[in-house]
Amino acid sequence: MHLRDLVRGGDLVRVSEKLGSQGLRQWDRVATRGREKVVAWLKTLENHSAKRPAGDPIGDYDFGWMWRELGVDEWRR
């Protein structure tokens, strides 16, 4: 499968030729689903670390840098 790069909304997205021929609305749906999965994963990490017993280093870990690095910090609550 051949891959090509597409810049959409300032983000570099790696796509297959099959996806590359789809319209912009379909691209928005693909990007939204991916973003939603990343946000759900980060929330899971934070929720699990919050449930750790007192004194556990992961319980006090700040995941904020991951949100910023992955470009989804505006969806953090």
For residue 6, report the phi and psi dihedrals to the nearest 5 degrees: -135, 130
In the chain, domain spans: 3-75
Q: Which residues pair with 6 in a beta bridge?
A: 13
The verdict on pTM exceeding 0.95 is: no
> Is residue 71 scored above 80 in pLDDT?
yes
> Is residue 75 scored above 80 in pLDDT?
yes
Give 23's DSSP letter: -
Stretch 39-49: mean pLDDT, rounded?
91
Q: Find out whether 33 and 66 touch, Cβ atoms under 8 Å.
A: no
